[in-house]
Amino acid sequence: MDSVIDFWFDFSSPYSYIANEWVDAVAARHGRTVRRHAILLGATFQAADLKPPVAYPLKREYVLRDFARSARFEGLPYQPPAQFPIPTQNAARVFWWLQDTQGAAAAADWARAGLRAMFTRGVPLHESAALKALAVEQGLDADAAEAAWNDPEVKARLKRANDEAIAAGVFGAPFFRVDGEPFWGNDRKAQIERWLASGPF
Amino acid sequence: MDSVIDFWFDFSSPYSYIANEWVDAVAARHGRTVRRHAILLGATFQAADLKPPVAYPLKREYVLRDFARSARFEGLPYQPPAQFPIPTQNAARVFWWLQDTQGAAAAADWARAGLRAMFTRGVPLHESAALKALAVEQGLDADAAEAAWNDPEVKARLKRANDEAIAAGVFGAPFFRVDGEPFWGNDRKAQIERWLASGPF
């Protein structure tokens, strides 16, 4: 059996931030490894003819409240971003650049740093200066990071990740696949943990 | 503090079925009572400019799988209805008729019976004959039940329930309100239980 937990996320997704803080520990507890996929929810929404929850006024009001409450529920810090949602393609491209040049651990570190910056410190990941500063904080070469997010090959890499996500049935984030079973949402963590502990149910 | 847990549900909602099997026990554990509101999701979706998840092909495929898995996760029986979703206004009208003539316990019994019939036995609640048979099973006068769902006053009662739900910010089901705090979804049970046990977080 494939020991990988596939984990799709968007740097602009608060529920992805919460789930990202959990997924490595649960994988380790059950002898699994995490395969992260940075994607753009905009692409998967479009493919599935969906809009984000914050596109609907009533639902927006609820989910903004639920983002913060769900973080508190897990004991995680959370600060609502001043602007939300934001375009996160450059952050995602840095993820894939790191994945392909330095490996999964470096990309995972970037994912964690980016999501935490976005949702606990109000760092505007869509602004080049902020993203370069974050790269420096992470010990990366900021100019190389900027060159990466402007590199057509890295852009194509993200595009391919989006296409692969869509082909895998991903229509939201976080989205997980374990032993072929799809789980959508931070609120499926308990089901995933049951699956990992005792198999299909 | 208001000791009531408001619980909105639609007879056509699998997640409402699952949550309905849970809500009375959790309320009892924490000295609360449940105030049920049968509504039509169609009305709340329209008010919030939303469509049901099964209206989107990719999401439909996922949620049909998740309905069954989420029931199994709770150890509940589940049988996918042959036709889904279905119009459930008559079942909801019987709920309000019982609520207003026999009280909350009788209405709760009907809610449980209707949701179980729909999601464990494939009873087509939108068909008059099936609904009358269910009424008989429940010890009700089937002709009186049918007269109720055709009664303009009972119809207006359901309409009022929908309008009140919309005014309360309800845009999906199950939907809960505890001490003024809104919780949407069967997957917020753990948060609700925390809230009931130790207060706002």
Task: Go through chain A and tell me how many residues it has.
Answer: 201
pLDDT digit string, tens, across residues B85-104: 899 999 999 999 999 999 99
Which residues fall within 8 angstroms of residue B105, CB to CB, at 6 or more apart? none
Residue A185: its chain B contacts at CB < 8 A? 187
Pairing of strands A181-184, B4-9: unpaired
Q: pLDDT class for B57, splitting at 50, 70, 90?
A: confident
- Sort B180 into a burial class: Cβ within 10 Å, 0-12 / 13-18 / 19+: exposed
ipTM of predicted assembly, 2 dp: 0.94
pLDDT for A143 beyond 80: yes
Average pLDDT over residues B32-38: 98
Contacts of A73 in chain B (CB under 8 A): 190-191, 194, 201
The whole-number average pLDDT for the span B43-66 is 89
Predicted confidence at residue B56, as pLDDT, reads: 85
pLDDT at B113 over 90: yes
- Residue B2 predicted with pLDDT over 80: no
| Amino acid identity, position B82 | A
Can you give the pLDDT at residue A9? 98
Interchain CB distance below 8 Å, A171 and B73: no
Q: DSSP for B142-192?
A: HHHHHHHHT-HHHHHHHHHHHHHHHHTT--SSSEEEETTEEEESGGGHHHH
Contacts of A78 (CB under 8 A, 6+ apart): A14, A17, A67, A68, A71, A72, A119, A120
Contact assignment for B48 to A66 by CB distance below 8 Å: no
The pLDDT of residue A141 is: 98
B72, β-bridge pairs: none
Cβ–Cβ gap A171/B56 under 8 Å: yes
Mean pLDDT of the region A101-125? 98
Per-residue pLDDT band at B4 (split at 50, 70, 90): very high
Exposed, middle or buried: residue A27 (CB in 10 Å: 0-12, 13-18, 19+)?
buried
Look at B171 and A72 and tell me if their CB atoms are within 8 Å: no
> By C-alpha distance, which of A149, A56, A175 is closest to B172?
A56
* Residue B130, burial from CB neighbour count under 10 angstroms (0-12, 13-18, 19+): middle
The pLDDT, as a whole number, for residue B69 is 98
Q: What average pLDDT does range A36-48 have in this prediction?
A: 92
pLDDT of residue A1 exceeding 70, the answer is: no
Neighbours of A13 (CB within 10 A): 26
B190 touches A: beta carbon within 8 Å: yes
Predicted pLDDT of residue B53: 86
Q: At residue A106, does pLDDT exceed 80?
A: yes
Q: What is chain B's length?
A: 201
Residue for token pair 């809610």: B111
The answer, for A45 touching chain B at a CB cutoff of 8 Å, is no
pLDDT category of residue B45 using cuts at 50, 70 and 90: confident
Q: Do A70 and B194 touch (CB under 8 A)?
A: no
Q: Residue B1 has what pLDDT?
A: 53
pTM: 0.95
What is the distance between the terminal CA atoms of chain B, rounded to a whole angstrom?
A: 16
The range of the structural domain enclosing residue A20 comes to 4-198
- For residues A160 and A168, what is the distance between their CA atoms, to the nearest angstrom? 12
Q: Where are the alpha helices (DSSP H) in A34-122?
A: 41-48, 57-73, 89-101, 104-120
CATH code where residue B168 lies: 3.40.30.10
Number of domains in chain A: 1
Query: Strand A175-178's sheet: what is its strand order?
Result: A33-38, A4-9, A175-178, A181-184
The tens digit of pLDDT for each residue in B131-148 reads 999 999 999 999 999 999
Q: Examine the pLDDT at A48 and tell me if it is beyond 70.
A: yes
> Rounded mean pLDDT of A147-173?
96
